[in-house]
Structure 1
Amino acid sequence: MVDEIPIHNTTQQLIEQTRARREAVAQVEQLMSQARGKAHDVDNTIEVTVDALGKLVDLWLAPTAASWGAPRLGELIVEVAEIAHTEAVQDSYNKVALALGDDMTLMIEQISGQRAPARRDDDDPGITVEEFQRRREERLARQAPQPARREPVQEEDDDLYSFDPASLRSDR
């Protein structure tokens, strides 16, 4: 059974909304082409930039990247490019959501069969606040207590306002 939702807009308002959405949908391809994702490896020897369609936009290799050897370097470039692509896809969904709204973006996800990376089931949600606090407390407990610092005694000569410019000689 389909739920009936009353329409509170006039026909003219509905037509204007439809035209605005059609113009926004026409911008989707442009928005997706502007989306970029950038990633690098842990050692900062490789940096890859791709667009939302997976097109390589930029590849930077540090001189030390050659030490990985050709097979491993190729694998590493592909791994980093995949991470950059995921970031670019999310960037494109973010841009489309700003132009079309969340409902239309969700519909695009459903039609394409590709969920936004931030909504994927395999996306790492990070750690909970409780886990963060637990780790923080463990880290603080392992640290040795710092000895109390003594405040330096300020001598009279160290006082900024007691400086006498007349004490400077101009013949030096």
Structure 2
Amino acid sequence: MAAVNEERLQAVEQLQRDLAVTAETVEHPNGLCMVTATASGELRAVHLHPALLGQGPQAVGQVVTETARLATNAAVQTSFNKMALALGDGMAINVEAIAGDSPFRSTWNPVAPPVVAAPEAAAPRQRRTHPVEDPDEDAFFENPFGRR
């Protein structure tokens, strides 16, 4: 029994050492920023593409913040995975019950809107409607791609 407890204590100590150095590097979906962060939110590295700097300070701040959130979530997820491996799924489920769902279990998605060069490019295209030649034709069966 004492050997089992000693093994568990060693596993917990190893887990604590692993979690202390866990960091993840994530690239923003637009490819203009890469951040390395820990599960506690410490940013260890931030790399910016020169094209991002030309978009202004607000865009830089938004992209860096989103990328930092993605990297932190990835590090937290890695921590949850290491904890589940070291302590077992039952203990990981208990920790999630206290701390909340792991980041990748929740439905978080980045909210970076695409950068639009001109306002007219962002305007939605209006679909042209064509009158139906036959008034008895059922609109349900009309082929909108056949008429241009």
Query: For the superposition of Structure 1 and Structure 2, which TM-score range results when normalised by the shorter chain?
Result: 0.5 to 0.7
Q: Which runs of 4+ in 1 moved over 3 A?
A: none
Which stretch of the first structure deviates more once superposed, 97-106 or 43-52?
Answer: 97-106
CA contact (8 A) 1:33 1:53 kept: no
Q: Which runs of 5+ in 1 are unaligned?
A: 1-11, 125-172
Q: Which residue in the other structure is 2:17 paired with?
A: 30
Match of 1:116 in 2: 102
Residue pair 1:31, 1:96 contacting (<8 A) in 2 also: no
The structure with more radius of gyration:
1
Alpha carbons of structure 1 residues 123 and 44: separation in structure 2 relative to 1, 3 Å: closer
* Alpha-carbon distance between aligned partners in 2 of 1:91 and 1:41, rounded to the nearest angstrom: 18
TM-score (norm 1): 0.56
Answering whether residue 67 of structure 2 is matched by residue 80 of structure 1, we say yes
Q: Which residue of 2 aligns with 1:52?
A: 39
Aligned residues between the structures: 109
**What is the match of residue 90 of structure 2?**
103
> What SS does the corresponding residue of 1:43 show, helix, strand or coil?
coil
Higher helix share: 1
- Superposed CA RMSD: 2.0
Q: What percent identity do the matched residue pairs reach?
A: 30
What TM-score do the two structures reach when normalised by structure 2?
Answer: 0.64
